[in-house]
Structure formats: C-alpha cells, structure tokens
Amino acid sequence: MTSVLTVSDRKGLGKKETQRLRKTGVVPVNVYGKGKGNKNLTLPKTVVAELVEHRSRLWSLEGDESGTVLLGEVQWNHLGTSVLHVDLVRTDAEDLVKAKVVVVLKGEAIGAQGGGKVSQSSRLIGIECPAARIPETVTLRLEPLNVGMKLYAEDVELPEGCTLISPPRDVIAKCK
C-alpha cells in the first residue's frame, strides 16, 4: 500500500530555524538514499503523526520532491511525546527491504477456554519483502495455544513474498 506525502522545501537550516518551524506546526524532514543527495524538507505535524503510526508503509512524495520512501529514523523530544525530526529513505517499490511489523493475535486459545491466561510477549517481528508489499500487520492464530505452551515468530502467518528475519523461536504469545 502506497500513501502520499506532500512535502515542502526547507530553506533555512540550523537550530533557530528548526525551532521556528516546529512552533508553526511543521516538522523538519531529511530525505536520503538511492545515490541521490540529501534533501531538506518539511511536513505538517499532523501528517508526521500518521507517518509514524503507519511506519512500515511505502510513501509516495509529491510537492517539492518526488519518489517513494520509507520511514527511517524518528527523533523525539526528551519526553518522547513530540516528534522533532524525521528521516525518510528513498526506495523503489520492488526493492527488498527489512521492516518491523505489528503482530495481531486472532482467535481464542484452547488454553484460555480452560481458564488459562494468554499474554503477548512481543508485539513486533522483523520481515523482509518488496517495499510495496510491506503489510500493516501480520496475524498469529491462537487456537492451538494450550496452557503451558508458547507460540513463536515462526508460527506467524506471513503474506506471500515476505520472509521472517526475526529469530524463528522468538516467543510471541504464551498461555499460563
């Protein structure tokens, strides 16, 4: 899935200029990669919130820069409540990329039906796939999970074209 980001050129650089931008509801953005030079841009704070929420999504740039990108690094304030700066990495839809995706638990564990309690040990797994095919989430079916058992990264249902890069025996869910 590709979504659109409308970016604007960032004329001024430096601490005072970035502070001024942030006060106006704009976040500084740096785009780099694919053998092209770095480009200093801006995005509205509301758009950055969506970008961070859907961090593994492939984004198409329009406005003062074009191309497709993935979210790179996000710099937060000291409280972790506000984004200060974002890096976007140029990529092509067909490029194989590594991404962290959210694991969604589905179904009712057989152990929970008998009084057991299911807990999720890990919320993210690492996968490798073409940039255009990065899923928003992946699914782990809980039905076979009984009391005293665990489900692992290798048990997660991956879409076609995706390969698990997390250790296969990383525990995702367990029933006590």
The helix (H) or strand (E) run that includes residue 23 is helix 15-23
Q: Report, as ranges of residue numbers, the positions in the chain whose pLDDT lies below 70.
A: 1-2
Confidence at residue 57, expressed as pLDDT on a 0 to 100 scale? 84
CATH fold, domain 97-175, is RNA Polymerase Alpha Subunit; Chain A, domain 2 (2.170.120)
CA angle at residue 119 from 117 to 151, to 5 degrees?
Answer: 105
Residues forming CATH 2.40.240.10 domain(s) in the chain: 2-91
Sheet containing 163-164: order of strands: 137-141, 96-106, 124-130, 163-164
Beta strand extents in 107-149 (DSSP E only): 118-120, 124-130, 137-141
Q: What is the structure's pLDDT at 1?
A: 56
Query: CATH 2.170.120.20 region(s) of the chain?
Result: 97-175
**DSSP at 145:** -
Strands 96-106 and 83-91: unpaired
Give the fold, CATH level 3, of 2-91. Ribosomal Protein L25; Chain P (2.40.240)
E strand or H helix at 26: strand 26-33
